[in-house]
């Protein structure tokens, strides 16, 4: 049995300055139970007065072994776990996973399913950015924004519930298409949201964007230049706020994103305020995409008709022997995937969400690796906070928009 080792300063002495060892600077533990760490993140801070000299993140408190667990499930069943990774972006995780599976087994998806996937992931992006905005405001002591954001997020979650029956853990996208078609109320619900939301974004902006307290706390704080960001694998809004125009929806379009007309908002300052404003603009771009996708939502099937991968509709099972066999095989054994590997990436609200999926010829994946954006984005925090105050650390951490489920997997 393992001996319990007491963790002391010796474990960290290569990470802090020599002054910490003599007691000249202070080592302060922040988290894991702290309202501003957005979950269970622990930061070990070395402080000189109130200035942060070093910041050592300690992660893993939310490690659930999803990668290991997925190896023991069939491709269809493993998808349920993808919702639990980045729990602010469940549809986006589903999309990343099903795209990887479809690439591995070479499966086509009908256009209607692709369009619905785009609508729902963009709505989910709005919901995720709303949580960012609320928490960001809360960390900068703007309490009311949080309440407004969660009110609007509820509308998005209602749409998710309308389609999948679940507010958060949706598992709505399936390899080859969708679980089932969207209900008739779907279009009206999305249109109502599109009508209501632009005004609300203006409201948030009137509360925050020119707010002198917010500007004082964010402009010029936590600067990150493009070179450092790329060295640390930073992607998504954080990278775009530093001036790099990089969005996988534009660069390597998937699921039909090439049909839609939208901009990629960028800023060049790379500070906390730029990261905030990029996300505000992404609200508007996401709405543009949702509107276009909804306007030309094609009719037709929502699932691939390849019965080796997609279960047959209920109506066929009663009349077709093959359908019954396929249904039985898919839900007991699952479908086999070739002994090969693919890497497929999507743009999540936080950056490049990549899935490395390797099959072994059988019905279960040999290895699934999640390249989660928060993990890499957080690794750059030390560069951002050095020389700033502890209170600024809170603002910077909020502006990276980390989700611990995404980091710890």
Partner 1 sequence: MDKKLEKIIQALQETFSVEIEEFRDETHVFIQAEQIVDALLLLRDKYDFELLSALTATDYWPQQSPRFHVIYQLSSLARNVTVQLRVPLNGDQPKIPTATRVYEVANWRERELLDMFGIESEGHPDPRRILMPEDHVGHPLRRDYPLGYEEPQFTFNLEEIDLQKPYAKE
Q: How far is the CB of 246 from partner 1 (least distance, A)?
A: 5
Q: How far is the CB of 354 from partner 1 (least distance, A)?
A: 6
Q: How far is the CB of 232 from partner 1 (least distance, A)?
A: 5
User: Which residue number, 93 or 235, has a Cβ lying nearer to partner 1?
Assistant: 235
Residue showing tokens 């007491």: 6
Contact positions toward partner 1, by CB under 8 A? 1-5, 7, 11, 14-15, 59-60, 63, 65, 67-69, 71-72, 103-104, 106, 230-233, 235, 244, 246, 251-252, 340-343, 345, 352, 354, 356, 358, 366-367, 369, 371, 375-376, 379, 408-409
Q: How far is the CB of 231 from partner 1 (least distance, A)?
A: 4
User: Which residue number, 119 or 229, has a Cβ lying nearer to partner 1?
Assistant: 229
Q: How far is the CB of 166 from partner 1 (least distance, A)?
A: 26
In what side-by-side order are the strands of the sheet with 42-48?
26-30, 42-48, 51-58
Q: How far is the CB of 71 from partner 1 (least distance, A)?
A: 8
Structure tokens at 295: 């306007």
User: Which residue number, 110 or 233, has a Cβ lying nearer to partner 1?
Assistant: 233
User: Which residue number, 217 or 350, has a Cβ lying nearer to partner 1?
Assistant: 350
Q: How far is the CB of 366 from partner 1 (least distance, A)?
A: 7
User: Which residue number, 64 or 144, has a Cβ lying nearer to partner 1?
Assistant: 64
User: Which residue number, 1 or 299, has a Cβ lying nearer to partner 1?
Assistant: 1
User: Which residue number, 157 or 234, has a Cβ lying nearer to partner 1?
Assistant: 234
Beta bridge partners of 26: 47
């Amino acid at each position: 049995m393992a001996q319990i080792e007491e963790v002391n300063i010796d474990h960290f002495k290569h990470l802090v300055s020599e002054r910490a060892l003599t007691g000249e600077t202070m080592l302060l533990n922040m988290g894991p139970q702290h309202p501003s760490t957005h979950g269970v993140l622990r930061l070990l801070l070395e402080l000189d007065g109130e200035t942060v000299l070093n910041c050592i993140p300690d992660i893993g408190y939310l490690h659930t072994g999803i990668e290991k667990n997925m190896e023991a499930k069939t491709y269809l069943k493993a998808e349920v776990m993808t919702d639990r990774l980045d729990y602010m972006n469940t549809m986006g995780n589903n999309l990343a996973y099903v795209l990887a599976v479809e690439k591995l087994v070479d499966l086509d998806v009908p256009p209607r399913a692709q369009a619905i996937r785009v609508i729902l992931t963009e709505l989910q992006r709005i919901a995720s950015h709303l949580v960012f905005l609320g928490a960001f405001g809360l960390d900068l002591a703007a309490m009311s924004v949080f309440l407004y954001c969660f009110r609007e997020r509820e509308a998005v979650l209602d749409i998710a519930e309308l389609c999948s029956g679940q507010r958060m853990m949706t598992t709505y996208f399936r390899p080859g298409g969708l679980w089932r078609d969207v209900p008739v109320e779907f279009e009206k619900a999305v249109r109502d949201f599109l009508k209501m939301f632009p005004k609300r974004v203006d409201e948030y902006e009137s509360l925050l964007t020119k707010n002198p307290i917010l500007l004082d706390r964010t402009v010029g704080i936590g600067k990150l230049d493009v070179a450092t960001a790329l060295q640390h694998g930073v992607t998504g809004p954080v990278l775009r706020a530093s001036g790099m125009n990089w969005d996988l929806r534009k660069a390597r379009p998937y699921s039909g994103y090439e049909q839609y007309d939208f901009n990629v908002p960028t800023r060049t300052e790379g500070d906390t305020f730029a990261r905030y404003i990029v996300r505000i603009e992404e609200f508007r771009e996401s709405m543009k995409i949702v509107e276009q996708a909804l306007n030309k939502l094609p009719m037709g099937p929502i699932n691939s008709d390849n019965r080796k991968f997609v279960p047959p509709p209920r109506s066929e099972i009663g009349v077709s022997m093959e359908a019954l066999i396929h249904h039985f095989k898919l839900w007991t054994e699952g479908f086999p995937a070739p002994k090969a590997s693919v890497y497929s990436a999507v743009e999540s609200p936080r950056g490049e969400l990549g899935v490395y999926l390797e099959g072994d010829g059988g019905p279960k994946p040999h290895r699934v690796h999640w390249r989660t954006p928060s993990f890499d984005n957080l690794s750059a925090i030390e560069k951002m906070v050095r020389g700033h105050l502890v209170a600024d650390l809170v603002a910077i951490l909020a502006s990276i928009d980390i989700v611990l489920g995404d980091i710890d997997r």
